[in-house]
Amino acid sequence: MLKIYNTLTKKLESFKPIEDKKVRFYHCGPTVYWTQHIGNLRGMMMADLIRRSLEYLGYDVNFVRNYTDVGHLTGDNLGDADTGEDKMEKGALREGLTPDEIADKYIRIFENDTKALNIEEPNKKPRATQYVKQMQKMITTLIEKSYAYVTPKAVYFDVSKFSNYNELNHQNLELNLSGAGTGDVSDANKKHSVDFALWFFKTGAHQNALQTWEFLGVTSEEVENGRGFPGWHIECSAMSKALLGDTIDIHMGGIEHIPVHHTNEIAQSEASNGVKFVNYWLHNEHLNVNGKKMSKSEGTGYSLQEVVSKKVEIKNRMFVNFEPFDLRYFFLNSHYRSKQNFTWDALKDAKIARENFDERVWSLPERKGNIVKSYKEKFIKAIENDFNIPQGLAIAWELLKSKEKEEDKRETILDFDKVLGLGLKGSQNIGRKILEPKHLKNIKIRNLIKERDEARLNKDFRKSDELRKLIEAEGYIVEDTKEGTKVYKKE
């Protein structure tokens, strides 16, 4: 029986989907104005592991992850959604591109990064700018039901009208309403400082907004035809409703979304739809760097590109690059609800462990085997316990070191890899099969061979001989043939 920790109840609950064996899963995606750092990518991978686990357990998962390409202001994460600059416009000004071009550029980078980390594609990946009509429809309903009000500057959700406002964040509404801990209120007509904007009119601080739409039926004294742009929170509510329905099974995001973004999503969706929005709320913890919050200004907001271009010393003073799978393996080692601490040394340990893991799997014979039932049961038990992937990985290791039949080990590990996603399926048992170095999955050997080829090209035969010995010490044989260097594993 699958158990999931639900932020709404702060309890481990048995999972019961709305429709039998089907899961409606919404994941809050990135605001595409900048390259995502590895902390954000970890959040994406945690959702990927949960989705893969659900599929492994036999659920048919409809997984939606959005792109926010309008309306996310820099104040949003400070608990004040109505102040600051639009992140997309900030990106556009910085790079001399249009907001649309900025979105295209950073979506491309994001998708390259997630692909490199073997994160599966969502079933749908809506862009907020394509759902403005649906957002307007929801806002209109909220106005009609008196949950929202219009000022000359914006349309706001009246937090005092929604009695369950703090159900998710377990805060005290009275405290919110008295204005504790909120930022500047730039609109004098706003009723309570915690009321949040559903729609900003193209006026005041936003009079030069680059991305705006008409909003017929809603009038502001300061703009014609309600022209403006949506607030960030309404985007997820509208896209989730459009693609998954009024009530969904799982909604996931980083823990920073609990106090404001997800709290506001619940208020808007439940007030306008009149039914429960989400049955299970899941939140992933953050990645720290050197024990501290990741920070661009301190140079620790690493991108995947920065990680893979970093050289690491393994042994014999050999320098090799990190690979995206090293980072994936590193992330597999901590539970989604735990903080994880990134250091270069920790990533290096993960790299060594992963190569070791991969090599053990590759050395298993490709004969047809059977799934080892006892291990599969243990693996399922681990992921059914609120997706305990680190334990699942430990079970895979235990199996590799066990006395089970070699071909059965292989069959079972490849089955586990549907969840772990280490790309083991494509790996080959090279045995005595002679390969070109580029087909070798072992990066360490590949690099040694490359260095040896260079030495031979420079006629530095002493060095090339030393390198050959190093390669042999790792259990591989190189052969120089007319078609170039070939490699095979020693028996």
In the complex, minimum distance from the CB of residue 101 to Zn ion, in angstroms, rounded to a whole number: 23
Q: Please, which residues have CB within 8 angstroms of residue 189's CB and are 6 or more apart in sequence?
A: 151, 152, 153
The smaller minimum CB distance to Zn ion, of residues 28 and 54, is found at 28
| Cβ-contact 326, 350 below 8 angstroms | yes
In the complex, minimum distance from the CB of residue 192 to Zn ion, in angstroms, rounded to a whole number: 22
Site size toward Zn ion (CB under 5 A) is: 2
The smaller minimum CB distance to Zn ion, of residues 280 and 375, is found at 280
Q: Please, which residues have CB within 8 angstroms of residue 107's CB and are 6 or more apart in sequence?
A: 32, 67, 127
**Site membership for Zn ion, residue 28 (CB under 5 A):** yes
Q: Residues comprising the binding site for ATP?
A: 296
Provide the mask over 235-264, with x wherever binding to Zn ion is found by CB under 5 A and - wherever it is not: -x----------------------------
| Cβ-contact 128, 69 below 8 angstroms | yes
CA 433 to chain centroid, in Å, comes to 38
In the complex, minimum distance from the CB of residue 384 to Zn ion, in angstroms, rounded to a whole number: 27
Please report the DSSP string for 184-201 in residue order: ----TT-SSTT-EEEEEE
Query: Helices marked H in 62-131 — which ranges?
Result: 87-95, 99-116
Scanning 27-35, 83-91, 305-313, 372-380 for contacts with Zn ion by CB under 5 A, the matching segment is: 27-35
The smaller minimum CB distance to Zn ion, of residues 28 and 422, is found at 28
In the complex, minimum distance from the CB of residue 234 to Zn ion, in angstroms, rounded to a whole number: 10
Residue 213 bridge partners (DSSP): 228
Helix (H, G, I), strand (E, B) or coil at 204: helix
d(Cα 473, Cα 445) in Å, to the nearest integer?
Answer: 10
Phi then psi for 213, rounded to 5 degrees?
A: -135, 155
The smaller minimum CB distance to Zn ion, of residues 261 and 441, is found at 261
Q: Residues comprising the binding site?
A: 28, 236, 261, 265, 296
Q: Residues comprising the binding site for Zn(2+)?
A: 28, 236, 261, 265
Q: Please, which residues have CB within 8 angstroms of residue 69's CB and are 6 or more apart in sequence?
A: 31, 32, 88, 99, 100, 103, 127, 128, 129
The smaller minimum CB distance to Zn ion, of residues 68 and 176, is found at 68
Q: Which two three-digit tokens encode residue 25?
A: 């899963």
Within positions 211 to 240, which residues make up the interface with Zn ion, using CB under 5 A? 236
Helix (H, G, I), strand (E, B) or coil at 307: helix
The smaller minimum CB distance to Zn ion, of residues 79 and 204, is found at 79
In the complex, minimum distance from the CB of residue 28 to Zn ion, in angstroms, rounded to a whole number: 3
In the complex, minimum distance from the CB of residue 157 to Zn ion, in angstroms, rounded to a whole number: 15
**Site membership for Zn ion, residue 448 (CB under 5 A):** no
**Site membership for Zn ion, residue 70 (CB under 5 A):** no
Binding region for Zn ion (CB under 5 A):
28, 236
